[in-house]
Structure 1
Amino acid sequence: LEQSDKMPWFKGWKIERKEGNADGKCLIDALDVILPPARPTDKPLRLPLQDVYQIGGIGTVPVGRVETGLLKPGMVVTFAPANITTEVKSVEMHHEALTEAVPGDNVGFNVKNVSVKELRRGYVCGDSKNNPPKGAADFIAQVIVLNHPGQISNGYTPV
């Protein structure tokens, strides 16, 4: 890329930050210096289940994306809201064994002595020793509906 002669007034841009300063003259330079967001590995493990499989010769394999914390083989985990506690035998991503899964990883993990019928999509897995997840009787949420054909009011049900 070359600097355009159509914008002689534009001298470029500069950014100062603790990770190091950066400057550039075009959008591609700006995109190149964007820092990736920090992965929240310091928070308690939270892994919402996408699905649960029964794999012959292996056993029950829940799958999902690690949102916060770390998942390691040998960890004792709790599934909420069912309050099922078990040990993680192994962790895999794309058919490769992992020593630990970090936030952003889509993983499958083998658990001991838990039937596929006991776990469901939507359950949340967390470390039993570090702020395990719990079910909630109620909660407050802000919901934004982008496209709905009718009127929504208090007590609305779709069926």
Structure 2
Amino acid sequence: QYAWVLDKLKAERERGITIDIALWKFETAKYYVTIIDAPGHRDFIKNMITGTSQADCAVLIVAAGTGEFEAGISKNGQTREHALLAFTLGVKQLIVGVNKMDSTEPPYSETRFEEIKKEVSSYIKKIGYNPAAVAFVPISGWHGDNMLEPSEKMPWFKGWAVERKDGNASGKCLIEALDAILPPSRPTDKALRLPLQDVYKIGGIGTVPVGRVETGVLKPGMVVVFAPVNLTTEVKSVEMHHEALQEAVPGDNVGFNVKNVSVKELRRGFVAGDTK
């Protein structure tokens, strides 16, 4: 059931219908979580970079099946590539989900989990992550094991624990690991900087650039300037998850409607700033 939620996207792409981002939001005890699902297939690495650059924390999903893990961690494997890209793009918090535990030999094998944990720890350490600060959780997304509550299929798993300067944390399942993410500092007092992730033309509304506020705040009525083309315009409205916002702050992934600008004048990579 969990896999289906994330894969709804694939079918939607094939049918060419619009993808409703509201699906990707859920709540933990502490946070609203927005999932930016980054494809694992090599052909999609550009999309993966686009998604990962907006994240506060990366969840690296590693397949535990016989041969699957080995392919991912091999010299040109996706596990290596994604972990390296995440770190390079500045996503300094990491959670590792060791998935498909139901398809290990034998199923739900502690030995297999420990082997994978050891191997992935050693690799992420080379990249720059501190394995002691990374939660490793054995899961089955398909069956729901250790996703929201501890699985009786893995009684050997006593839970994950992380040690960090800003506080240690421990838990049993993946959702608790998400809850233990440290919120990055949100520099609202700095000038607005919002790199564009995409620009949409929406019927009846107009041009809607989309991206994540990195610094500063974005509000309806503000005048913004797009670099590097030095194009100035007024912000009509700001939305997140289809809800109007009075103010977007760093970390918010938003769409905003701009006056008298055609979709052709803006492109991914431009940066919106305030005019002061």
Aligned to 2:228: 81
1:43 and 2:190 aligned: yes
How far off its partner does 1:34 sit? Answer: 7.8
Write out per-residue CA displacement over residues 44-92 of structure 1, whole angstroms, 9 at most, x where no aligned residue.
Answer: 1000001101111000000000000000000000000010000000000
Partner SS, residue 117 of structure 1: helix
Aligned to 2:265: 118
Distance 1:89 1:128 in 2: 16
Give the residue type in structure 1 aligned to 2:192.
L
Q: How does 1:26-41 map to 2 (within 5 A)?
A: 27=170, 36-41=183-188
Aligned residue pairs, count: 107
Aligned to 2:201: 54
Distance 1:94 1:47 in 2: 17
Distance 1:33 1:109 in 2: 31
Aligned to 1:105: 252
Q: Which runs of 5+ in 1 are unaligned?
A: 1-16, 130-159
Q: 1:71 aligns with which of 206, 218, 221?
A: 218
Aligned to 2:240: 93
Write out per-residue CA displacement over residues 97-132 of structure 1, whole angstroms, 9 at most, x where no aligned residue.
Answer: 000001011000000000000001000000012xxx
Look at both structures and tell me which one has the larger radius of gyration over its CA atoms. Answer: 1
- Tell me the TM-score normalised to structure 1 length: 0.60
Which of the two has greater strand per residue?
1
TM-aligned CA distance change 1:34 to 1:62, over 3 Å:
closer
- Tell me the TM-score normalised to structure 2 length: 0.36
Aligned to 2:62: none
Distance 2:236 2:244 in 1: 11
Identity %: 82
How far off its partner does 1:37 sit? Answer: 2.9
TM-aligned CA distance change 1:38 to 1:56, over 3 Å:
same
Distance 1:89 1:67 in 2: 20
Distance 1:121 1:63 in 2: 9
Q: Which runs of 5+ in 2 are unaligned?
A: 1-165, 172-176
